[in-house]
Structure 1
Amino acid sequence: MKTIFNEGKPQSITDVLQNKDHRNALQNRLMETYPNDTIITIKLNIPGPIKNNAALQSLFETGSTKFVPVFQPIKKVALNSDAGPELLLVNTMNAESAKKQAIEFEDQLNYGRLFDIDVLNKQHGHYSRVELGMQTRKCLICNENAKECARSRKHSVAELQNKISEIYAEEIDD
């Protein structure tokens, strides 16, 4: 199996946290500017130090091209750094409905499981699967609770990257 993780600039924990801080600040600015609307943040959920390269860009583009039109955003902000591609959308859809659509995308497409789609608004903050009565995210390897697998480090980064490379080969790579 050919890996898609041979290229890209490795990211440290500090790099990832700085990117998260930047994204959170942008989300907050969008919520201030659009206080009655829903903010949707789309990013990839990629383990290990390589978070962005041509293959991951292709994966992100394929998924976001399918997902974004559903929301008819009134504003789009695209970010692309070594920490990974991201897209922030502002739309007028009810946030709970938007989160349910995001979960459907994440759960029903094989490569949808590689996406992390956050939905938030000024009134409520982040919407979670659990508070909407939806199942927790499943692990790519064993289909157990993904957070539990990540917390316990049940699977190695190499195992997860191999699974992602396999999904990429099956779903994206021409």
Structure 2
Amino acid sequence: MSRVTLQDMLQARDWRREQQQRMLKQHGGSLISFTINMPGDVKDCYASRVAFEQGLKAVQTLLGKKDWQCLDTLTERKATGPLALMALAQPDTTVVKQAMIELENEHPLGRLFDLDVLDRDGRILSRKEFGAPVRKCLLCHLDAVICARSQQHDIQQLRTHIHELVMSQQTTVDE
């Protein structure tokens, strides 16, 4: 478990943005950008890897059910956390975003998923545009952004909760 700095996260965000732009330029259509919401300075850990694998499997299953063709996939696992970019032939980004919001809301680990959808111009569609509620804090169920900015909760409490959540799903998925 390596700790990441703010500089590491900013560099990872810039690299991700470059890859998103490259894939959009190459394929057009819709682009799913999937990362894991992992508070604190440790982004690559057992819990983030398990959540990512389960989330990636859920996205791929959903794409199959919707009969949406995935033209290209980039998957990276770095100290700054796992990432998957999926370029879809599906041009209607609003339909894709609605499906990703449903997955975030319905999957047992969906609160840990960050499923962004970008249109062909690189604009990220927001949950707010679809009338979806803001993401809730893992511990107190208030607005997650407010809790994170105010550092409302001890990071160890959050990590413990995430680990327990992932472990509770690990047994049900592997059976």
Aligned to 2:32: 40
Residue 18 (structure 1) aligned with residue 11 (structure 2) = yes
| Cα distance in 1 for residues equivalent to 2:144 and 2:47 | 23
The C-alpha deviation readout for 1:97-155, integer Å capped at 9, x for no partner, is 11111111111122111011110012461100001111111111111111121122211
Aligned to 2:146: 148
Contact 1:62 1:172 in 2 (8 A): no
| Cα distance in 2 for residues equivalent to 1:53 and 1:148 | 25
Aligned to 1:90: 87
- Which amino acid in structure 2 is aligned with residue 40 of structure 1? I
Q: Matched residue of 2:84: which SS?
A: strand
**How many residues matched?**
166
The C-alpha deviation readout for 1:11-32, integer Å capped at 9, x for no partner, is 1111111111100111111111
Q: Which runs of 5+ in 2 are unaligned?
A: 64-68
- Which amino acid in structure 2 is aligned with residue 133 of structure 1? G
Residue 80 (structure 1) aligned with residue 82 (structure 2) = no
Aligned to 1:52: 44
Aligned to 2:66: none
Aligned to 2:61: 69
What's the CA shift for 1:75? 0.9
- Which amino acid in structure 1 is aligned with residue 89 of structure 2? T
What's the CA shift for 1:55? 3.9
What's the CA shift for 1:170? 0.6
Contact 1:44 1:114 in 2 (8 A): yes
Q: Matched residue of 2:115: which SS?
A: strand
- Which amino acid in structure 2 is aligned with residue 79 of structure 1? E
What's the CA shift for 1:44? 0.4
Higher-helix-fraction structure: 2
What's the CA shift for 1:69? 2.8
Contact 1:41 1:118 in 2 (8 A): yes
Aligned to 2:168: 170
1:128 to 126, 129, 138: 126
| Cα distance in 1 for residues equivalent to 2:6 and 2:83 | 18
Displacement over 4 Å in runs of 4+:
none
| Cα distance in 1 for residues equivalent to 2:46 and 2:151 | 27
The TM-score normalised by the length of structure 2 is 0.88
Paired-residue identity, %: 31
